[in-house]
Structure 1
Amino acid sequence: TADYDNFIFSVSCNFKKIDNINSMTDDLWRKQKNKTAVSSYLFDASKGYFKRHYQYDVEAKKQYNKLKSENKKVFDDASYTTIYRFDKEIVSQTNGSSKISKSKKAVMQRVSALDIINGKGNLANTIQLKK
């Protein structure tokens, strides 16, 4: 869904193979006018873990600095939120800014857009599932 007035966008996916997430994100990244950070995903069913690799790219800061002051203001209160849901319970996760839900079947992370732009927000995470 997309709400362009309030800059709220929601993407929901259900993948049978984790490689499909990588294909989707690679395709989206190739189509972007301004390329920034790179993410990839890995799921090891035998070990029961999901991993998101994230690498900051200074291009985000360069593109942000090109904006006019009034356009930069939109990022002051903006955040990036991810929620990962699983069928099995979560035993642990490695990102300090992420939280495991009460049901132990979801992990949520909310990061300030400015932290992402400035390289202070880390989106990487390894989520260990109960075997």
Structure 2
Amino acid sequence: MTVTIYHNPACGTSRNTLAMIRASGEEPEVVEYLKTPPSRERLVELLGLLKMAPCELLREKGTPYAELGLSDPKWSDDELIDFMMAHPILINRPIVVTEKGAVLARPSEKVLGFLANSVGSFTKEDGELVGKRG
């Protein structure tokens, strides 16, 4: 199975998601999307796989979201995609694509339902235990 993660190594949720994927026995293709943003075509494809509108994939925290006025409903889907292409930090993460589909893994344990192999239990960076207990 091929697994791809659109990853930001500075993000704890993204790091936890990557670790969960690896704990399942998969070595994913890691795309550091801030260094190598997806093409417009790929971003549109990801939105389709996620079954999300562009406004649902926008990240607000730590981005120019407010400065750009992106909460205003006047923006079309195409315009929001244009903003994400110009400012990849606006793309929420981590996005994981597997043979089972795609997921915005927020929280990180959302990825578990998209992996071929069970992880069992997993301890996140903050000490939170997810998965099987005992």
- Which structure has the highest strand share of the two? 1
Q: Give the number of the structure with larger relative contact order, counting CA–CA contacts within 8 Å between residues 6 or more apart.
A: 2
- Shorter-chain-normalised TM-score: which range? under 0.3
- Which structure has the highest helix share of the two? 2
User: What TM-score, normalized to structure 2?
Assistant: 0.24
Larger Rg computed on CA atoms? 1
